[in-house]
């Protein structure tokens, strides 16, 4: 206790006392919190300067016409109205992206699960197989792989050379609007390695004695898969599905390289992000591109919310 | 650490190796080998195409060239106005700076969230997790305008500076998880002895966290090396191009004429990633398995 408290109440003393308390409180607050905020400082600057600020500005820009030369001109909902009603390229991009998501994600997850189950048997050489299957996932995002893919599915490419050996004359996959998107689906499925590794980790969590008990009771392998593996794996399946779907919505590089940045032939590989890029950095319609970005966020958010809402009907957590 | 990786590294009981019949196991191996071959065939073919005589590239699906010829590498290396050496150097500088930025800034942030008590910690932590879900497209255009006004376009700054501001929330999350697994007694005792937060971070936390720092560093390097979108937007002068942009320009400029050179340069861009993979496979796979990193 300080002396200030014991002195009879006089204006000066009280002020001094309150000042001392305030100063003490401030110092205590500072001492307690300063280290935390000092450590957070770089992140806080980044959060306000590079995330929150830009996100708010982007929301504002989405209601404007902005070509980077003149200052943004407010147009209200015009960008969104045009996206919804009068932009054939938007619907093309949406169609391409949804096709990609709907075909690539289920195939990728199925392969990932099948291979993970084949590997999860205490096989010799597990590390080797795991590495080989994971390698394409790690290399897959690079330009070199997209270049390679473009060659594989060219009319005189490797796939058609292989097909011709069994007497089939393959089409020109890359330059045919009906097939081009599926070459990109194939590229995505080829990279099933990282969901496979997550499945492997999940499979290892399933207690082995459940299978032993089931086979003692005479349950077939199929029944064991259906009644034990699948239900216990649903949290991992859910996780993989959400992550891969969000990723598929954001795909960019392969479509850009394979179509030479055009999204052709006839917009058949015009991924959503590619269209956004063209609008922003090709046509300098920054306001319109911002609206496109927010639509993408909305779609991803709706999809994620929907997944989480439905998940309680099929995802089992044991707690 | 142990808490995170236990599930992955836990050995399975040896009993189920011995239980299976020999034929079943042979069939599985045969299937897996066939599938592995299919997986790596395109990659091997590309490497083999890069050393094949030009006339032979499309004539066979075989992996073994009739003669080995490295001239495609020499041709491709100088195939553009700026040589691939320049692109490699640019990529290397950017990747190493990004690694430094991510490791330093994310570990500082993660340390605050995992080990320090301060008012508003939970609030900021929730915000940080929220940023994980925001696609970069939303901030892309204002960030571009910002960097353009700062005069940073055509420099490496837009690709590097954000990393020093802990913009990769994913790595923060990864490190928070790891830091939380380190026994609290360590820094509590140090705190009692009058150790400052900085010393605890520097002398206790970082040395104990080398595995997670290495995982973050390796993924940072590989993702930055492979990044195409960032450089595509911010680098327009060929002297500043990264290896990915260089390769894409090479594709456009040669189109169908120099396939040998194209495959040679493609192979070269994959070499660093491949070596990281070879040496750090375990770290990479554990990183994926415990955290569900994409790619």
- pLDDT, one tens digit for every residue, chain A (319 residues): 444 444 444 455 555 666 666 677 888 888 788 889 999 999 999 999 999 999 999 999 999 999 988 899 999 999 999 999 999 999 999 999 999 999 999 999 999 999 999 898 877 888 899 999 999 999 888 899 998 998 888 888 888 888 888 888 888 888 888 888 999 999 999 999 999 999 999 998 888 888 888 888 888 888 888 888 999 999 999 999 999 999 999 999 989 998 888 887 888 899 999 999 999 999 999 999 999 999 999 999 999 999 999 988 888 876 5
Chain B residue with the nearest C-alpha to that of A52: B139
Q: Please, which residues 103-132 of chain A have a Cβ atom closer than 8 Å to chain B? A: 115, 118-119, 121-123, 125, 127, 129-132
Tell me which of B8 and A145 has the higher pLDDT: A145
**Residue B171 backbone phi and psi in degrees, to 5:** -70, -30
3-class SS of residue A230: helix
- Of B106, B140, B141, which to mutate for an interface test with A (greatest number of A Cβ within 10 Å)? B141
- Per DSSP bridges, beta strands A73-74 and A64-65 are antiparallel
Do the chains contact at B16 and A239, CB–CB below 8 Å?
no
* Rounded Cα–Cα distance for residues B116 and B126 (Å): 16
**Lowest mean per-residue pLDDT among A49-63, A220-234, B62-76, B121-135:** B62-76
If DSSP states are collapsed to H, E and C, what string results for chain B? CHHHHHHHHCCCCCHHHHHCCHHHHHHHHHHHHHHHHHHHHHHHHHHHHHCCCHHHCCCCCCCCCCCCCCHHHHHHHCCCCCCHHHHHHHHHHHHHHHHHHHHHHHHHHHHHHHHCCCCCHHHHHHHHHHHCCCCCHHHHHHHHHHHHHCCCCCCCHHHHHHHHCCCCHHHHHHHHHHHHCCCHHHHHHHHHCCCCHHHHHHHHHHHHCHHHHHHHHHHHHHHHHHCCHHHHHHCCCHHHCCHHHHHHHHHHHHCCCCHHHHHHHHHHHHHHHHHHHHHHHHHHHHHHHHHCCCC
Of the listed ranges A154-163, B117-126, B168-177, the least confidently predicted one is: A154-163
Altogether, the residues listed in chain A come to a count of: 319
pLDDT at B284: 86
Q: Which residues of A touch B133 (CB under 8 A)?
A: 304
Instruction: Extract the tokens encoding A225.
Output: 């898969």
What is the rounded (10 degree) CA torsion for B248, A261, B259, B79?
A: -40
- Cα→Cα distances A45→A48, A102, A116, A301, B220, Å: 5, 39, 42, 26, 21
Element holding A73 (H helix, E strand): strand A73-74
**How many angstroms separate the CA atoms of B295 and B287, rounded?**
11
- Coil, helix or strand at residue A236: helix
With tokens 């100088």, the residue in question is: B78
Q: Measured over all CA atoms, what is the biggest interatomic distance in chain A, rounded to whole angstroms?
A: 108
Q: In residues, how long is chain B? A: 295
Distance between CA atoms of B66 and A159, rounded to whole angstroms?
A: 21
Position B99 scores a pLDDT of: 97
Chain B: residue whose CA lies nearest to A28: B118
DSSP code of A229?
I
Task: Tell me whether residues A152 and B35 touch, CB distance under 8 A.
Answer: no
Q: Which of A116-125, A175-184, B57-66, B263-272 is predicted with the least confidence, judged by mean pLDDT?
A: B57-66
- Banded model confidence at residue B63, pLDDT cuts 50, 70, 90: confident
Query: B156 CA to chain A: closest CA distance, Å?
Result: 16
Give A32 or B30, the one with higher predicted confidence: B30
Of A39, A253, A273, the CB nearest to B109: A39
Rounded distance between C-alpha atoms, residue B68 and residue B260, angstroms: 12
Q: Distance from B86 to chain A by nearest Cα, in Å?
A: 17
Residue B161 has what pLDDT?
A: 97
A284 contact residues in B (CB cutoff 8 A): none
Which carries the bigger pLDDT value, residue A158 or residue B207?
B207
A113 contacts on B by Cβ (under 8 Å): none
In chain B, the residue whose alpha carbon lies closest to the alpha carbon of A114 is B32
Burial tier of A8 (Cβ tally within 10 Å: 0-12, 13-18, 19+): exposed
Interface residue of B140, B146, B244 to substitute, partner A, most A CBs within 10 Å: B140
What CA–CA distances, in Å, run from A200 to A115, A122, A196, B86, B203?
A: 9, 12, 6, 41, 36
pLDDT score of A22: 67
Question: What CA–CA distance (Å, rounded) separates B31 from A2?
Answer: 82
What pLDDT sits at residue B191?
82
pLDDT above 50: residue B13: no
- Express as a percent the part of chain B with pLDDT over 70: 89
Tell me whether residues A122 and B14 touch, CB distance under 8 A.
yes
Q: Which phi and psi (to 5°) does residue A286 adopt?
A: -70, -35
Q: Contact A98/A184 with Cβ under 8 angstroms?
A: no
Distances (CA, A) of B221 to A145, A254, B77, B177: 18, 20, 23, 21
| Min distance B130 CA to chain A CA atoms (Å) | 11
B167/A198 touch (CB, cutoff 8 Å), yes or no: no
Query: For position A218, what pLDDT does the model report?
Result: 86
Contact state of A190 with B39 under an 8 Å Cβ cutoff: yes
The pLDDT assigned to B260 comes to 86
**CA distance to partner chain B, nearest, from residue A4 (Å):** 30
Spell out which residues of chain B touch residue A289, defining contact as CB-CB under 8 Å.
Answer: 141
Asked whether A79 and A287 are in contact (CB, 8 A), the reply is: yes
Cβ-based burial of B239 (10 A; exposed 0-12, middle 13-18, buried ≥19): exposed
Closest CA to B234 of B168, B170, B141, B163: B141
Q: Are A190 and A139 spatial neighbours (Cβ–Cβ below 8 Å)?
A: no
| pLDDT recorded at residue A1 | 41
pLDDT of residue B192: 84
Quote the tokens at residue A226.
Answer: 């259906």
DSSP letter, residue A64: E
Q: Considering CB atoms only, which of A46, A115, A197 is closest to B289?
A: A197
Mutate to test the interface with B, among A26, A29, A30, A35 (most CBs of B within 10 A): A35
Model-level pTM? 0.88
């Amino acid at each position: 206790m300080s002396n200030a408290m014991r002195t009879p109440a006089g204006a000066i003393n009280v002020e001094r006392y309150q000042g001392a308390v305030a100063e003490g409180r401030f110092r205590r607050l500072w001492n307690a919190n300063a280290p935390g905020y000092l450590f957070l400082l770089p992140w806080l600057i980044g959060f306000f300067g590079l995330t929150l600020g830009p996100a708010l500005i982007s929301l504002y820009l989405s209601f404007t016409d902005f070509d980077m030369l003149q200052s943004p001109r407010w147009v209200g909902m015009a960008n969104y109205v045009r996206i919804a009603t009068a932009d054939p390229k938007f619907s093309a991009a949406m169609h391409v992206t949804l096709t990609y998501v709907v075909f690539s994600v289920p195939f990728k997850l199925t392969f990932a699960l099948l291979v993970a189950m084949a590997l999860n048997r205490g096989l010799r050489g597990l590390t080797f197989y795991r590495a080989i299957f994971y390698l394409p996932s790690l290399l897959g995002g690079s330009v070199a792989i997209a270049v390679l893919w473009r060659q594989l599915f060219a009319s005189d490419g490797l796939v058609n050379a292989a097909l011709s050996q069994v007497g089939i004359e393959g089409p020109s996959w890359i330059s045919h609007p009906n097939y081009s998107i599926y070459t990109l689906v194939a590229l995505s499925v080829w990279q099933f390695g990282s969901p496979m590794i997550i499945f492997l980790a999940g499979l290892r969590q399933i207690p082995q004695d459940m299978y032993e008990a089931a086979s003692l009771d005479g349950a077939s392998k199929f029944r064991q898969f259906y009644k034990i593996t699948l239900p216990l794996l649903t949290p991992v399946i859910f996780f993989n599905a959400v992550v891969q779907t969000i990723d598929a919505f954001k795909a960019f590089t392969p479509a850009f390289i394979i179509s030479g940045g055009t999204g052709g032939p006839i917009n058949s590989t015009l991924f959503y992000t590619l269209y956004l890029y063209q609008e922003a950095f090709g046509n300098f319609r920054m306001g319109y591109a911002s609206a496109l970005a927010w639509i993408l966020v909305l779609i991803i958010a709706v999809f994620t919310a929907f997944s989480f809402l439905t998940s309680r009907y099929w995802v089992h957590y044991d707690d | 650490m142990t808490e995170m990786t236990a599930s992955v590294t836990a050995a399975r009981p040896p009993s189920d190796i011995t239980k299976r019949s020999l034929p079943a196991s042979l069939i599985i191996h045969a299937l897996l080998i066939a599938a592995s071959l299919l997986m790596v065939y395109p990659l091997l073919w590309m490497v083999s195409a890069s050393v094949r005589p030009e006339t032979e590239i499309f004539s066979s699906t075989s992996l073994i060239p009739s003669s080995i010829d490295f001239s495609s590498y020499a041709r491709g290396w100088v195939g553009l106005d700026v040589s691939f050496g320049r692109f490699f150097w640019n990529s290397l500088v950017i990747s190493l700076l990004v690694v430094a930025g991510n490791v330093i800034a994310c570990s500082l942030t993660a340390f605050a969230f995992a080990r320090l008590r301060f008012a508003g910690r939970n609030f900021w932590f929730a915000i940080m997790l929220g940023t994980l879900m925001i696609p970069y497209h939303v901030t892309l255009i204002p960030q571009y305008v910002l960097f353009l006004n700062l005069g940073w376009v055509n420099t490496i700054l837009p690709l590097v500076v954000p990393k020093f501001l802990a913009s990769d929330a994913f790595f923060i999350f990864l490190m928070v998880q790891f830091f939380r697994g380190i026994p609290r007694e360590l820094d509590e005792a140090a705190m009692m002895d009058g150790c400052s937060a900085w010393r605890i971070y520097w002398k206790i936390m970082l040395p104990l966290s080398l595995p997670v720092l290495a995982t973050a560093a390796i993924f940072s390097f590989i993702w930055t090396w492979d990044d195409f979108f960032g450089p595509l937007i911010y680098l327009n002068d060929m002297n500043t191009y990264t290896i990915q942009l260089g390769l894409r320009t090479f594709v456009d400029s040669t189109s169908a004429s120099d396939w040998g050179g194209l495959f040679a340069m493609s192979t070269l861009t994959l070499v660093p990633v491949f070596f990281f993979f070879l040496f750090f496979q375990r770290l990479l796979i554990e990183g994926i398995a415990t955290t569900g990193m994409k790619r």
